[in-house]
Chain A
Amino acid sequence: MKPTRRLWWGLILLILLSPLGLIVPELFKSGPAWGEWRLEEIEKMIGFVPEGLKKWVDLWSAPLPEYHFGGWEKKGLFHSSLGYILSGLLGVGMVVLVTLLLGKWMRRKDPPAKGS
């Protein structure tokens, strides 16, 4: 198998395993990353929600917030994992598409092969 093809398969395997990133923190009862709290969590920690933070935190409403798919995170572990995988596939698809397009625009022409 060509090395790039093996790497693409490895990537797909990682996407299929990605729900571990959802399930394992739940097992250890861990919250969000430090500095990425929800407003209620901030209020619990310091007793108030900073004005500016409250005003801007919802500036952008992402179509698939926190890699959840269409509310599936409320339908149990199986659905939330499936949603996470679909988000991963969609995200990777977008990332690859954008990078290939940009790369196509940026690349320099390969020098002609020797002897041709």
Chain B
Amino acid sequence: MHIPDGYLGPQTYGVMYGAMVPLWALASRIVRRTLQQRHVPFMALGAAFVFVIMMFNIPIPGGSTGHAVGGVLIAILIGPWAALIAISIALVIQSFLFGDGGVTAIAANCFNMAFIMPMTGYWSYRLIGGRAPATSRRRWIAAAIGGYIGLNVAAVTTAVMFGLQPLLARGADGRPLYFPYPLEIAIPVMALQHLLLFGIIEAVITALLVIYFQRTEPSLLEIGEGKR
């Protein structure tokens, strides 16, 4: 899901920087107001976890690979706005140091994986989890569904960015200048891969870690809701 350089035209990645700068500013304002000193190490742990989990490439036999992100889990633990900052940090380091995701596409990648994913996943989790206690079964089921939804929605927004390229920019010969496949191909392919495989893995990881926290340190599950 890490869009490389050259895959998006300047209109697209420019617009994404235009969208992310205010979102980064808003996130840091919200986090500044709510983040307590003892929560800072959790934010670092969360960013590090997201970084590492994305190194576990998962194969579709004979096809392509993908990976989980952990973005919804982090949002559940530290709140979606702190997650936006933490995941953005991981994505920036991945891009600059390891060439995973283009430098021009940093904002686009942050929009998908650090904004869309934690927000949609976290609010699904809250909606489904309702007022159920932090240690209830309903909470980890909500976390699994949240992880599944978050990754899949992010896959689709990535596919939309890809698929818009042939519509936005073509050379003199009529051939696409950047990402070559249209929306009708990009969306089904990205959606299917994530609906059938990567999303399920994301759901399992999210649920297992929420269960782990329920059993060992349930109070950590309340930081993200601003209760502690």
Q: Which residues on A are within 8 Å of B, measured CB to CB?
A: 3-4, 6-8, 11, 14-15, 17-18, 20-22, 24-25, 27-36, 42, 46, 48, 50-67, 84, 87-88, 90-92, 94-96, 98-100, 102-104, 106-110
Asked if B37 and A107 make an inter-chain contact with CB atoms under 8 angstroms apart, the answer reads yes
Contacts of A63 in B (CB 8 A): 97
Contacts of B7 in A (CB 8 A): 35, 53, 57
Asked if B6 and A56 make an inter-chain contact with CB atoms under 8 angstroms apart, the answer reads yes
A48: shortest Cβ distance to chain B, in Å? 7
Can you pick out 20 interface pairs between chain A and chain B where the beta carbons lie within 8 Å of each other? Answer: A8-B45, A15-B52, A21-B55, A32-B64, A48-B175, A50-B179, A52-B6, A57-B5, A57-B7, A58-B5, A59-B6, A61-B99, A62-B99, A64-B98, A91-B97, A94-B93, A95-B47, A95-B89, A107-B32, A108-B32
Q: Which residues on B are within 8 Å of A, measured CB to CB?
A: 1-7, 9, 28, 31-45, 47-49, 51-53, 55-67, 85-86, 89-90, 92-100, 102-104, 158-159, 162, 169, 171, 175-180, 186, 189-190, 193, 216-217, 220
Contacts of A8 in B (CB 8 A): 45
